[in-house]
Structures are given as C-alpha cells and as structure tokens.
Chains A and B, each alone.
Chain A
Amino acid sequence: MARPLQRLSRLGLVALGLAATVVVGGKALQTPSTEFTASGPARSLTAAGELTLTSADDFEGILVGLRGRPVIVNIWASWCRPCRTEAPLLARAGREHGGDLVILGVASKDTFGAADDFMDEYALDYPNVFDQSGDIRQRLALRGFPTTYFFDRRGILVATVVGGISERRLAAQIADVTR
C-alpha cells in the first residue's frame, strides 16, 4: 500500500515541478510591450561616429525628424558585457544598411569618457547620443542593458529586444522594418 502512494506522491511532485517551470518560464519569456511615440519639434540627427550630449527632448526631436526612414535605437553602456558582443554587429549593420535605415546609439548610465572610448574601440561609426540625466532611458522604459528598439518609417515602435541581440534577430528585424 505504501509503494503506490510513494509513486503517486513522486509523480505529483514531478508534475508540480513541471507546471511551475512552465508557468515561471512562460512569464519569463513574455516581453512586456513598450509604448513610446516621439513628439516635439524635429531636430537634426547628430554627427555620425560622434558622441553628443543630448537631452531627452532633443532625442525625441531627432526621432521626429527621422520619420520617413526606419530607425534602430540601441541603448548601451561601456560597462555592459553583452553590449560589447553586439557592438560589432550593430556597426556592421550600419555599414550594410546605412542607406535604408538609421542606427542611433544611446549611451546611458555611463561616463562620457568611457562611452567615447567604447565607441572608438568598436568603431561605432553611426550617430550616438549621451544620456547624462538618464531621462532618455526612462522615456523608453528601459528594463535592462542593452536594449534595441525598432521604429518603422512612421515612427511607430514595432519591436523591442531586451538583452544582447543576435545577428539573426537583427537581420530579421531590419528586413521587417525596411520592407
């Protein structure tokens, strides 16, 4: 009598463990959607290959000014390890697709000097802004470093990728927004 009960309780524990894994995993895999629409007067894009101190309002103005072209915004920091691994990908994407879209980097929660050095180290030749106050990352509801935001030609945020982006995902998103 004891053995069937033991087997049942073991099966029950396994089933409970599996159910917990599925529930926790399902929650973990969900990405809360970010809602953001840039507003305000249009501003011109900062110089390519340079790091420019920019306010959150000016950042939104840059996005408003870029409507008509897809934009990829990548928030990074020099101390962020996944940012280092994805930086060469973004640099390559900028060179391969520079005519079709704009890549705009945002260095946040960092020092200007370290961020500038990072750009030189990884030859980031697309425009980057420096978010000194942290307001830009707050407006974009940043959840973790790095995060990449994809805006279509109308300026609508269509995808957010939290964490280091793979080449595959980056290429697929680029193909999608430049369609």
Chain B
Amino acid sequence: MTDYGLLLSMALTVGLPSLFVRRWPLKTTAGQSLTDVSISALGVGLIVGRIVNLLLDDPRSLTRLGDFLIIRSGVEFWAGAVAGTVVVARGARRDKVGVADRLADVAPAALVAQAGYHLTCIVRDGCYGPDWAAGPVPKGLMHGMFPVELVAAVVLVAVAVRLASRTLHPAIVALGGLSAIAAERSVTSIWLPRLGAGITRQHTTSIVISSVSAVGIVVLYLAQRRREPLPTPCAT
C-alpha cells in the first residue's frame, strides 16, 4: 500500500506547518488559523498542478476522471505553487492586508510544509540520492544512498526559522522563501535518480525561478538600503 505513504506525506505536509506556527504565529491573519488561510490555496494548487501535469505529459487523460485523480502520478509543482500563491494573495486583499505582508507571513510555513513532504520519503518511494555506502538502503535496492531529501528538509526548516524572525522586508521574506524552495528543488533534481541523462523539467524551471527571485531579493534589498536614513554620527 504505497498510497498509505502518500497519505502520511499529506498528513505531515499539513501537520508540521501547524506545529511551526505555534512557535512562530502568523501576524497578518487577525485570528484566522494557518488552515483557514491556506486550505483553499492547497486545494487549488493541487488541482491546477495536476491539470498542468496532464496537459504536458498526457492530454488524453484530461477526459478521464479516474486518471486525473491519481495524484501520485504527478503534480506540476510550480504551476500549483503559482495558483496557490494567487489564492493567498486574493485572501490578503479580502482581509485588507498587504499582499507582500501575507505572503511573507505564510512563506516560512510553506517551507516547513515542503520539508515535511521531503521527510516522508522514508515511507514513500524511498530516500534516494547519489551512491553512498554508509547511507540508508532504499526499499528494493541493494546499495546505500545519500538521503538528499532528508538533508533538503533540514535546510528548508533552518531557512524557515530564519525567515520567521522577520527582521527583513516582507517582500524579501516572500522572495527568500520562493528562492529557497526553487534552489532546493533544482539541487535535489540533480541528485535524485531519473531516466536518461537529460536535464529534467523540474530542474530547468526551478533554476529559472531561483535565479529570478534571487535577483529580485538583491534589487529589493538595495532599494531598501537606499531608503533607510543614514545613521547619525556621534556628537563630539
């Protein structure tokens, strides 16, 4: 029952962020929980991601509801992420909160959700990576592998904690979260097994998004520094 592993993945992907916001509460949601703010985004993201995945890989499956529902066969991550982000942004406007403020508020939780998904590689297909004799041996294989996804999960949580400290401009926090996930996905796609030697779609889109968001962070950071008043020199 490999789909049981997928169910556990979903539970951890949703549950871990809820625990995270107990320590670093949301600040722009006026009493709404993380679930209130994100459940629609998650649902819309899954549907859009699945539709785009089918459009790219097998458009005929769009006419078969059963095929559409087999989420395990693939969800286009960035399409789903964009759709989910739009839902969150609309929610921010409805709540009369700045879009950047709301996105910055939920970005750390989103990183923790991605980390939760990676952590459950143990109960899904396995924690794969480059060959490593000392590493855990994924189910069905005969050799150990370096668990790239587990390391990615730890890095994502560390970045989430840093972003949640909120000493940065909201737009920088939001872009920082985006850049972190994109960088993580492009790096892991290099090390995870794939058919053939060609570069994957995940790798190319993640590199583009990571690069664009990194440039955006630098531009925003420089603009913020220019707006900040110069420190007053000490009186002599």
Residues of A within 8 A of B (CB): 25, 28-29, 31, 81-82, 84-86, 88-89, 92-93, 96-97, 150, 158-164, 166-176, 179
Interface window among B40-48, B164-172, B190-198 = B190-198
Q: Would B126 and A169 count as touching, CB distance under 8 A?
A: yes
Tell me if B67 is interfacial: C-beta within 8 Å of chain A: yes
Q: A159-B139, A168-B193 are in contact. List 12 more A-B contacts (CB 8 A).
A: A25-B4, A84-B58, A84-B67, A85-B61, A96-B195, A163-B3, A164-B72, A169-B193, A171-B193, A172-B128, A172-B138, A179-B143
Q: Which of B2, B8, B74, B138 contacts A162 (CB 8 A)?
A: B2
- Cα distance, A54 to B193, chains bound together (Å): 34
Q: B1-28 toward A: CB 8 Å interface, digit per residue (1/0)?
A: 1111100100000000000000000000
Q: Which of B57, B64, B67, B72 contacts A88 (CB 8 A)?
A: B57
Please provide the 3 A-B residue pairs with the shortest distance between their CB atoms, ordered closest to farther. Answer: A159-B140, A85-B73, A171-B193
Which of B61, B139, B195 gathers most chain A CB within 10 Å? Answer: B195
Interface size, B (range): 20 to 34
- Cα distance, A147 to B105, chains bound together (Å): 44
The interface residues of chain B, by DSSP majority, are classed as loop
- Cα distance, A114 to B67, chains bound together (Å): 17
Q: Would B8 and A172 count as touching, CB distance under 8 A?
A: no
Tell me if B31 is interfacial: C-beta within 8 Å of chain A: no
- Cα distance, A89 to B74, chains bound together (Å): 12
Sampled A-B contacts (5; CB under 8 Å): A82-B70, A92-B195, A160-B140, A168-B192, A172-B145
Using A86-B73, A158-B140, A179-B143 as known contacts, say yes or no to A29 and B123 having CB atoms under 8 A apart. yes
Q: Would A170 and B195 count as touching, CB distance under 8 A?
A: yes
Residues 38 to 88 of chain B near chain A (Cβ within 8 Å): 57-58, 61, 64, 66-67, 70, 72-74
Residues of B within 8 A of A (CB): 1-5, 8, 57-58, 61, 64, 66-67, 70, 72-74, 123, 125-126, 128, 138-143, 145, 192-196
Q: Which residue of A lies closest to B200 (CB)?
A: A167
Chain B residues with CB under 8 A of A164: 70, 72-73
Q: Which of A81, A92, A167, A176 contacts B141 (CB 8 A)?
A: A176
Q: Would A28 and B140 count as touching, CB distance under 8 A?
A: no
Chain A residues with CB under 8 A of B1: 28-29
Q: Which residue of B lies closest to A92 (CB)?
A: B195
Q: Which of B2, B67, B140, B193 contacts A150 (CB 8 A)?
A: B140
Using A164-B72, A176-B142 as known contacts, say yes or no to A81 and B192 having CB atoms under 8 A apart. no
Q: Would B126 and A85 count as touching, CB distance under 8 A?
A: no
Chain A residues with CB under 8 A of B138: 172
Chain A residues with CB under 8 A of B70: 81-82, 85, 164
Q: Would A168 and B141 count as touching, CB distance under 8 A?
A: no
Chain B residues with CB under 8 A of A25: 4, 8, 123
Chain A residues with CB under 8 A of B126: 169, 172
Using A162-B2, A163-B3 as known contacts, say yes or no to A31 and B139 having CB atoms under 8 A apart. yes
Q: Which residue of B lies closest to A27 (CB)?
A: B1
